[in-house]
Amino acid sequence: MSTDFIHLNKNWNAEPNAPAEKIEITDEYLSLSFLLNPWEFEGFKEGHRAELRFYGCSKWRLGPTNDEGWYSGQCRFSKLAPSWGEFYEVKGNLPPEQASNEWHDINQGKGNRHFLFYLRDSTFECDAESYEFIN
């Protein structure tokens, strides 16, 4: 079985230098907020924050690998993902997790979809039922 990447951020992306990502967990969802890229996409000013809300999240992680590690093959998706710095849903065969101690179980749902977001100095992953982009 192959690994497929569905590119989810079409008209937006995180700020490429210092996205200032933040995780918040509520009773209803897990939130990943970050600064948006105001230079590549119209409609965003410098300092504009966005949020990805993940519903039915079962587990998440925010940690290594950064862009240098990705290009040198240190990420489990380094040789598979189409490009660095994007937000994907990953389907099919998921390579083994390299750092399972970085994962946080929150058990808000089944988490039957795998989401992956490469930020400047870290990687965000979670298993959730759905997501919503809020800007």
93-127 pLDDT per residue, tens:
888 776 567 899 998 888 899 999 999 888 999 99
Name the pTM for this structure. Answer: 0.91
Q: What is the pLDDT, as a whole number, of residue 21? A: 96
CB atoms within 10 A of CB 87: 22
User: In which element (H, E) is residue 70 found?
Assistant: helix 67-71
Tens digits of residue pLDDT in 60-79: 999 888 778 878 888 888 87
Contact 120, 17 (CB under 8 A): yes
**CA diameter of the chain:** 42
Alpha carbon of residue 16 to chain centroid = 14
Q: What is the mean pLDDT of the chain?
A: 90
Q: What is the pLDDT, as a whole number, of residue 75? A: 80
- Spell out where the chain has E strands: 3-7, 22-25, 29-35, 49-55, 59-63, 87-92, 104-105, 113-118, 123-128, 130-134
Contact 47, 35 (CB under 8 A): yes
